[in-house]
Structure 1
């Protein structure tokens, strides 16, 4: 029971202590004669509180009874709190022994409920009593003694039911926070949510829940400080992760390129006579075009991986296997094939764990000399197929703890472990099932969990969520199963004919998984490395195109690897590759390599630091009237003139002038409003200050395409009122002002033609020219086009790179109307590229594209050059002039080498600006291939 007592103490603030604890059952009111019929056991704990600053602790001690239970993740949670005041009643009676069941199927008599004691807790006359049953007579006596002692103190102080007991507020309001001393990682979905979004709703005059907010801010501060104080270095844990949908095939190919990486092409591996009779032989380096198809990522691990993680799908496609399968034959054959593919490195590795659910299998392989570093390995599997239980779809997962090795390369239990979780899933198939795939993701996120070590007779053992980890890597093959929302012919044409630097970025605009992430419909917190490789599905063995894809199925990136990590674990992904030379399935295997920097934190020192820091920031009793106080150095901030895409920042100094630690946060000026206008950023939005400590708060203004359209139509004078709230203290008001300088960027095309001069000279919106006096086309676009026509180094333009500072300089000259500092003539190719980038930045920032969204579907239906030019009559005169001028320059650019490849490259680079996608999620996507063909009518 001493271990449980310490576990309860870990939930408490430093001024509080657990004096006694007792395991109880909450009696079922409908079956009072059977005390064993209640649900899971609870814990009853007696807590004492010592007011700070007292000379005689006994005279300033208060008590409370906590009812606690274990959550599904095995954590203790405070369920109810009962202050021990003078009117609290706690009655004890002996319960009746239940009638013994002597039937043949009955449990042994020793396992049947023993005689216990019924405790009736009556908090007050207006509150229903709580009836509990206890069988632990050994711990019952000290609990009753502590309750009696604390109640006598309450009688001495005349503490009645109306007492406020402010020290209990943090416990009654922190239901959704994790105990600060818990060794279980916090849910990654919580950790990756900004702290200010977790705080209570508040605004001027409505401070919110200061007690709960202070607890969150303090816990966040304490954890960070403890990590910083105890950090002894970092261990680079290296991982190679692979996913492969094997389509029911045995391991007949050499897997080395997938398991060891492309560099294995240069190495000789022992023949896989028993496992790979159809080995294709990869001893020679592949041709250069194949190497490009593998990946454009050059980075790779500089040493052999510490961990291999391999996920398989469709391991067994037999009908019987979908219903029930316990065979490990296929798992054994694939495990053997993996070790065979490691060649002379195989002896350095050992299998740590695996989990199979019919067709899904996940295997963890680790270095032999690191085996002592791994502990607490847990496995999980759940179905998501027919009726949500059959094994044709679903997921398998492995959770493990890694403790950094000591100098002798053996794990030290003294270090705090890092928890890694790997999930392998197979989601719903077919193009139109994207919503079902999203649902499968959320379903598996809830149902995939890891059982804690519990007695075998436990019906529902506690579960740990897959998100309660430091690092979570999620993989899936045919399936994650997300597809490309474009017609099959277009996907193939783009893959075959488009330049490599645009084919993938274009297709990924229509990738179902990327769009689900962007729309926060699934995997919204996960990160995925840039995809620069061919789709992994679907290859064929019969009628195929020149890339090897089955003519009956649309290619897609169905095989994916994503990751999510704690903000304190800065995972670095090195590459993301597909391996076309492994041809046994209609999928190609995919791999990724990661470096996980594992902090070396001595466990004992870390938890002692947590305790010390908690005592340092423990809140005072509200009855002592010690209020936090802060002083703001400057409450009036003016930025002066601010410009488009030019960062401006100011710093505010805030000092704790009180005697106690202070939690502070910014709050909005009114309910349901934002803390600050969208053009202003505050860093940080909350924090904790010790007495006499100073915090630096940064205010930033960086006007971009999102904010500028509104500012360009409004007043130059910007202003905002910020409220800095002190928990249990006073609010401070900070005024922020700036003068916005109008920009031609993020403007309307027609509006630009009605400017009386440079946009910067515009005094007010009333100065715009009348409709019949506007110019034919925006001066700013024409200036850029004219300079490029006369001065650009055409031969090097597309392959050069620009300097962002030069682009910023050109923006300023466009806004002010001053001459460019680069005269007509020979110039550095980087300057030409800066003009090129500025032109497309200006066009893409238009609030309405040159060809309005409502007309883009029509323009892509044009079938000839004549039809394309006739279509321009449907545009406004300004839009026609801009289109003709820009495409004339593009035609001039393409004529430099008169190749069809150059023209297509130019068209694919420019169509996202000339014919951008409609951001309205309800709109029907327009073919990118048709957009490019429309542009080609004008530039070839």
Structure 2
């Protein structure tokens, strides 16, 4: 968060299940257009009760397009390729969201599936695998990659795309080194860490979803992978991290935020302040909605300086403009560049961000009183 905030990225959502963590960041300019955020998890560890294996997901609406991000940690060891597929299908079947348009992962227009999927390189011996790695002839190993092999017979896997594995297998390394496992077990290198995606193909949709197909055709979404590689310089794990960069080309279903807000007048800790906001589109307002004051460069929605409940401190200016007061006791004494964010409790997201404005430094008056005898000017003759 401290690294990404200066680059104008804000943490929008996160979910954790033991060691499995998913963080979703967005550029500030997109935040008011990311809505309907939900997160969930599925355990597939020992008897389905332990969370060391399974999947965590975050789904959302991005300019009206339904996206889902699924991070999985599947069963380990060479012989459990079928179990890994079973776990993935179980996660896909059981994760449900409170969303009419996309209640399941598979209903989203774009799904990213990634994580430590634990698929191994089968059949090839250790000497051949390491020789291919040293010679960078990775393509000779692809046919025996278990995920590639399972895709040939599993319909669900065939719906997911993946870029070419033109980088070293990312597992397993000695800690703090670029050396593959030199322990007594000498595990065979493998591409355990993967990034795949599934983009909804309008041409394959069922006739029963004609209305949805018309919407998809009117508001197209295209995806292109720009980079798929590993980062060998990181050595704190026995895995090397994998990076995927994608470009999305889409037509926005809406281009204005739900709320416009601004700081009215001068802001400082010397006087009570006022926020003026106006709804630009209908949205489910709630007594739990609040407006937060943030420093420019804030890291997440919880990184506010102060907040005020909209309904508690609201005064109607007219039917289109609302005023909300902020107590001077809540305004930072040191001042600085700030923004205001309107948070919708019903939508679980920020739906409006003000332009940056200056909060003045609080005036401090210091009175000095001397105990020394006063000196009068000398008489001049």
Normalized against structure 2, the TM-score is what?
0.58
**Matching of residue 340 in structure 1 with residue 37 in structure 2:** no
- Once the two structures are superposed, what CA deviation does each residue of 1:783-832 show, in whole Å capped at 9, x if it has no partner? xxxxxxxxxxxxxxxxxxxxxxxxxxxxxxxxxxxxxxxxxxxxxxxxxx
Deviation at 1:344, TM superposition (A): 3.9
Matched with 2:153 is: 519
Deviation at 1:487, TM superposition (A): 2.0
Counterpart among 99, 118, 131 of residue 481 in structure 1:
118
Matched with 1:451 is: 98
SS of the residue 2:221 aligns to: coil
**Matching of residue 530 in structure 1 with residue 164 in structure 2:** yes
Between the aligned partners of 2:222 and 2:5, the Cα distance in structure 1 is 32
SS of the residue 1:451 aligns to: coil
- Once the two structures are superposed, what CA deviation does each residue of 1:413-463 show, in whole Å capped at 9, x if it has no partner? xxxx1111000001000001111011111111101222359xxxxxxxx98
Matched with 1:508 is: 142
Matched with 1:575 is: 227
Matched with 1:585 is: 237
- Once the two structures are superposed, what CA deviation does each residue of 1:259-302 show, in whole Å capped at 9, x if it has no partner? xxxxxxxxxxxxxxxxxxxxxxxxxxxxxxxxxxxxxxxxxxxx
CA contact (8 A) 2:175 2:236 kept: no
SS of the residue 2:97 aligns to: strand
Deviation at 1:561, TM superposition (A): 0.2
Deviation at 1:390, TM superposition (A): 1.3
CA contact (8 A) 2:34 2:61 kept: yes
Deviation at 1:601, TM superposition (A): 4.1
Between the aligned partners of 1:344 and 1:372, the Cα distance in structure 2 is 19
SS of the residue 2:139 aligns to: helix
Deviation at 1:377, TM superposition (A): 0.3
Between the aligned partners of 1:601 and 1:420, the Cα distance in structure 2 is 14
Higher relative CO (CA 8 A, sep ≥ 6), structure 1 or 2? 2
- Once the two structures are superposed, what CA deviation does each residue of 1:130-169 show, in whole Å capped at 9, x if it has no partner? xxxxxxxxxxxxxxxxxxxxxxxxxxxxxxxxxxxxxxxx
Between the aligned partners of 1:516 and 1:383, the Cα distance in structure 2 is 22
SS of the residue 2:31 aligns to: helix
- Correspondence list, 1:661-810, <5 A: none
Deviation at 1:600, TM superposition (A): 3.0
Counterpart among 171, 180, 189 of residue 549 in structure 1:
180
1:513–1:522 Cα change, 3 Å: farther
Between the aligned partners of 1:447 and 1:472, the Cα distance in structure 2 is 16
Matched with 2:282 is: none
CA contact (8 A) 2:75 2:118 kept: yes
**Matching of residue 465 in structure 1 with residue 100 in structure 2:** no
CA contact (8 A) 1:400 1:420 kept: yes
Between the aligned partners of 1:583 and 1:356, the Cα distance in structure 2 is 23
Deviation at 1:368, TM superposition (A): 1.7
Matched with 2:45 is: 385
Between the aligned partners of 1:549 and 1:342, the Cα distance in structure 2 is 31
- Count of aligned positions: 233
Matched with 2:26 is: 366
Deviation at 1:602, TM superposition (A): 6.0
Deviation at 1:548, TM superposition (A): 1.1
Deviation at 1:521, TM superposition (A): 5.9
- Once the two structures are superposed, what CA deviation does each residue of 1:850-877 show, in whole Å capped at 9, x if it has no partner? xxxxxxxxxxxxxxxxxxxxxxxxxxxx
SS of the residue 1:369 aligns to: helix
The structure with the larger Rg is 1
Deviation at 1:541, TM superposition (A): 3.2
Deviation at 1:518, TM superposition (A): 2.1
Matched with 2:133 is: 495
Deviation at 1:570, TM superposition (A): 2.0
CA contact (8 A) 1:393 1:427 kept: yes
Deviation at 1:556, TM superposition (A): 0.4
Between the aligned partners of 2:226 and 2:238, the Cα distance in structure 1 is 26
Matched with 2:200 is: 566
**Matching of residue 436 in structure 1 with residue 83 in structure 2:** yes
CA contact (8 A) 2:175 2:235 kept: no
Q: 5+ residue gaps in structure 1?
A: 1-338, 404-416, 454-461, 604-940
CA contact (8 A) 2:57 2:68 kept: yes
Deviation at 1:383, TM superposition (A): 0.5
Deviation at 1:464, TM superposition (A): 1.1
Matched with 1:396 is: 56
Between the aligned partners of 2:130 and 2:108, the Cα distance in structure 1 is 40
SS of the residue 1:526 aligns to: coil
- Once the two structures are superposed, what CA deviation does each residue of 1:367-399 show, in whole Å capped at 9, x if it has no partner? 122211111001110101111231011000000
- Once the two structures are superposed, what CA deviation does each residue of 1:76-122 show, in whole Å capped at 9, x if it has no partner? xxxxxxxxxxxxxxxxxxxxxxxxxxxxxxxxxxxxxxxxxxxxxxx
Deviation at 1:569, TM superposition (A): 2.5
Deviation at 1:349, TM superposition (A): 1.5
Between the aligned partners of 2:247 and 2:108, the Cα distance in structure 1 is 16
Counterpart among 246, 255, 261 of residue 594 in structure 1:
246
Deviation at 1:535, TM superposition (A): 0.6
1:550–1:579 Cα change, 3 Å: same
Between the aligned partners of 2:9 and 2:253, the Cα distance in structure 1 is 26
Deviation at 1:341, TM superposition (A): 3.5
**Matching of residue 357 in structure 1 with residue 9 in structure 2:** no
Between the aligned partners of 1:490 and 1:506, the Cα distance in structure 2 is 9
CA contact (8 A) 1:516 1:522 kept: no
Deviation at 1:357, TM superposition (A): 1.1
- Correspondence list, 1:220-239, <5 A: none
Deviation at 1:467, TM superposition (A): 1.2
1:451–1:357 Cα change, 3 Å: farther
Q: CA RMSD in A?
A: 2.2
Between the aligned partners of 1:573 and 1:452, the Cα distance in structure 2 is 28
Greater share of residues in helix: 1
CA contact (8 A) 1:574 1:594 kept: yes
CA contact (8 A) 2:175 2:237 kept: no
Between the aligned partners of 1:595 and 1:449, the Cα distance in structure 2 is 27
SS of the residue 1:432 aligns to: helix
Between the aligned partners of 1:529 and 1:419, the Cα distance in structure 2 is 22
CA contact (8 A) 1:438 1:522 kept: no
Deviation at 1:513, TM superposition (A): 0.5
Between the aligned partners of 2:16 and 2:198, the Cα distance in structure 1 is 23
- Once the two structures are superposed, what CA deviation does each residue of 1:850-906 show, in whole Å capped at 9, x if it has no partner? xxxxxxxxxxxxxxxxxxxxxxxxxxxxxxxxxxxxxxxxxxxxxxxxxxxxxxxxx
1:389–1:521 Cα change, 3 Å: farther
1:521–1:373 Cα change, 3 Å: closer
Between the aligned partners of 1:570 and 1:535, the Cα distance in structure 2 is 29
1:509–1:423 Cα change, 3 Å: same
